[in-house]
Amino acid sequence: KAGVTQTPRYLIKTRGQQVTLSCSPISGHRSVSWYQQTPGQGLQFLFEYFSETQRNKGNFPGRFSGRQFSNSRSEMNVSTLELGDSALYLCASSRQGVSDTQYFGPGTRLTVL
C-alpha cells in the first residue's frame, strides 16, 4: 500500500507570494490533517479535512487555508507569505480522523526569503 505523498518536497518562495502544497493520502483514508513543524514551535496542528469538509482548525491566521477533493487529495494554501512561514509542512492521513492512527507524509520544506 502506498504511503502518504506530498508534493513538492522542497519549495523556495519570497515574501508576499503565495504557495500551494499538495497531499495524497493513503488509499481508503478520508481524513487529511495538516501540521506545521518548526524548530521553535514544534509540531502545530493547522486543520483537518474529512470528506471534503474542514472539520477542525488550529490557531493559525486566515492566510492558511486548505481544501479537499472528492478523491481525498488535499491542498494547503498560504497567501502573502511571511519569513516566519518557513517550516516543514506535514500532512497526515487516517481513515476516520484523529480517532484513528495518523500516517504522516515526508513533508514539504518551505523556505521563505
Partner 1 sequence: QQQVKQSPQSLIVQKGGISIINCAYENTAFDYFPWYQQFPGKGPALLIAIRPDVSEKKEGRFTISFNKSAKQFSLHIMDSQPGDSATYFCAARGPSGSARQLTFGSGTQLTVLP
Return residues touching partner 1 (CB under 8 A): 4, 33, 42-45, 48, 55-58, 90, 92, 97-99, 101-107
Our CA dihedral for 56, 21, 39, 103, rounded to 10 degrees, sits at 60
Q: Is 4 helix (H, G, I), strand (E, B) or coil?
A: coil
Closer residue to partner 1 (CB): 19 or 90: 90
To partner 1, the closest distance from the beta carbon of 112 in angstroms equals 20
To partner 1, the closest distance from the beta carbon of 53 in angstroms equals 13
Contact yes or no for 44/92 (Cβ under 8 A): no
Q: How do 103-104 and 19-24 pair as beta strands?
A: unpaired
To partner 1, the closest distance from the beta carbon of 73 in angstroms equals 17
Closer residue to partner 1 (CB): 80 or 101: 101
Closer residue to partner 1 (CB): 9 or 15: 9
Collect contacts of 49-57 with beta carbons under 8 A, ≥24 apart. Answer: 49/74, 50/96, 50/97, 55/31, 55/97, 56/98
To partner 1, the closest distance from the beta carbon of 31 in angstroms equals 11
Closer residue to partner 1 (CB): 73 or 103: 103
